[in-house]
Amino acid sequence: MSESRFLLVRLGSLGDIVHALPAASAIRHTFPDARVDWLVDSKWTRLLEGNADLNSVISMEGKSAAGISAAVRQLRAAKYTHAIDFQGLYKSALLAFASGAPRRIGFQRSYAREGFASVLYTDRLNPRGPHKVDHNLTLAERAGAQVENPRFSLAVLPEDDERVSRELAVHGLQEYFVLNPGGGWRSKCWPAERYGTLHGQLAERYGLRGIVTFGPGEEDLAQEIIRAAGDPAPIALPLDLGPLMAALRRAKFVVSADTGPLHLACALGAPVVGLFGPTDPVRNGPYSSDVVVRNPRFSETTYRRGASYSPSMLSITVGQVFDAVERRLRRST
């Protein structure tokens, strides 16, 4: 099958790209001589750089017509035999169609995020399995991939490791844990002051300081944690994607709600405690032996993007999360 040429389409976002990585690995394992390329928004290119399962990462400036046109020309020149759309949007389906691949594989209308996008596929599938990783593997299997042990291929570059080491040295840190308070939707987040209280308890218990990771627009969350933590306070580190990968991989453990850095930390092998409320951890949670905190009797599963803290996340206590960290670390020993 050396003539097979696969285009994988998952433009964003962070957690969703991570959940599609095992599909790429399954295709590479089954078709070791095939061409396997991934089309992604330029914002997330670093996540795929150095991925041994891919021949090429096609970075698209998706907010400009010129960027999209350039990407389409590159896709058509590659003469793909298969295009697999893991995203299920009109945009991603149109790009798969525009590639000229004769087989275009995606989710059926009832599952795709924008259902009518499915008319552009030749193969429309209802996903199998409970987790998003399983759903993506369903598409890879239709393309002929054999799924064995799902693998997340990520490359941490030496320069990113070195940058993190320099940042930590400034603060006199070698070992640390990570608190990640963001979440995209406020309804998926846990209150910042509780992260601060948790930091104080964890610092006393394990003799470590934490670092707070945050993205654009989340600076206030990081400062709230620092104010609530007391002494010693955690260190707020705004990190680009590459250094974030390096920091998460080296962490003693990571506490985060359902957001991209949580899934990235799991894929990198860091011990993780995930905090879940409105979203279902069976579908979106760690694809690993990590620990999840959720109070089902307060939780109505929904993917509506709420702008305030949800009752389900507010029901999670600091004590519950502290105990969950201890359980997760016992599994590592």
Same domain, 187 and 82: no
- What is the 8-class DSSP label of residue 84? E
Copy the structure tokens of residue 310: 């949800």
Copy the structure tokens of residue 56: 């090429």
Same domain, 135 and 174: no
Same domain, 120 and 162: no
Domain count, the chain: 2
In a domain, 149, yes or no: no
What amino acid is encoded at 71 in this protein?
A
- pLDDT of residue 164 exceeding 80, the answer is yes
Same domain, 99 and 225: no
Read off the pLDDT band of 243 (50, 70, 90). very high
- pLDDT of residue 332 exceeding 60, the answer is yes
Instruction: Compute the distance between CA of residue 276 and CA of residue 15 in angstroms, rounded to an integer.
Output: 15
Structural domain of residue 109, as residue ranges?
5-142
The alpha carbon of 163 is separated from its chain's Cα centroid by a whole number of angstroms, namely 22
- pLDDT of residue 333 exceeding 90, the answer is no
Same domain, 171 and 268: yes
Instruction: Compute the distance between CA of residue 283 and CA of residue 281 in angstroms, rounded to an integer.
Output: 5
Query: How many other β-carbons are positioned within 10 Å of the β-carbon of residue 262?
Result: 30
Predicted pLDDT at 204:
96
Instruction: Compute the distance between CA of residue 234 and CA of residue 200 in angstroms, rounded to an integer.
Output: 9
Same domain, 192 and 231: yes
Q: How much is the pTM? A: 0.95
Same domain, 325 and 189: yes
In a domain, 150, yes or no: no
Q: Where is the domain boundary, 112, 142, 172?
A: 142
Residue predicted with more confidence, 179 or 113? 179
Same domain, 115 and 243: no
Same domain, 62 and 30: yes
Closest CA to 322 of 201, 212, 231: 201
In a domain, 153, yes or no: no
Predicted pLDDT at 240:
94
In a domain, 218, yes or no: yes
Same domain, 307 and 209: yes
The answer to whether 18 and 10 are in contact (CB under 8 A) is no
End-to-end CA distance of the chain: 43
- pLDDT of residue 126 exceeding 90, the answer is yes
In a domain, 260, yes or no: yes
Closest CA to 277 of 243, 314, 245: 314
Q: Where is the domain boundary, 114, 142, 170?
A: 142
In a domain, 148, yes or no: no
> Mean pLDDT, to the nearest integer, of 146-166?
95
Percent of residues, the chain, with pLDDT higher than 90:
88
Instruction: Compute the distance between CA of residue 273 and CA of residue 241 in angstroms, rounded to an integer.
Output: 21
Read off the pLDDT band of 49 (50, 70, 90). very high
What amino acid is encoded at 17 in this protein?
I
What one-character-per-residue DSSP string does 123-187 give? EEE---SSSHHHHHHHHHHHTTPPPSS--------HHHHHHHHHHHHHTT-SSEEEEE---SSGG
Read off the pLDDT band of 158 (50, 70, 90). very high
Q: Where is the domain boundary, 94, 113, 142?
A: 142
Predicted pLDDT at 1:
42
What amino acid is encoded at 157 in this protein?
L
Same domain, 120 and 225: no
Q: What is the pLDDT of residues 168-192, one digit of tens each?
A: 999 999 999 999 998 888 999 999 9
Copy the structure tokens of residue 322: 């502290």
The answer to whether 125 and 136 are in contact (CB under 8 A) is no
> Mean pLDDT, to the nearest integer, of 31-53?
97
Copy the structure tokens of residue 296: 């089902």
- pLDDT of residue 320 exceeding 90, the answer is yes
Task: Write the CATH number for 24.
Answer: 3.40.50.2000
Same domain, 25 and 51: yes
Instruction: Compute the distance between CA of residue 244 and CA of residue 264 in angstroms, rounded to an integer.
Output: 9
Q: What is the pLDDT of residues 253-262, one digit of tens each?
A: 999 999 999 9
In a domain, 151, yes or no: no
> Mean pLDDT, to the nearest integer, of 44-54?
97
The alpha carbon of 281 is separated from its chain's Cα centroid by a whole number of angstroms, namely 14
In a domain, 37, yes or no: yes
Q: What is the pLDDT of residues 189-240, one digit of tens each?
A: 999 999 999 999 999 999 999 999 998 888 999 999 999 999 999 999 989 9
Instruction: Compute the distance between CA of residue 94 and CA of residue 96 in angstroms, rounded to an integer.
Output: 5
The alpha carbon of 157 is separated from its chain's Cα centroid by a whole number of angstroms, namely 18
Copy the structure tokens of residue 160: 């990113």
Read off the pLDDT band of 302 (50, 70, 90). confident
What amino acid is encoded at 186 in this protein?
R
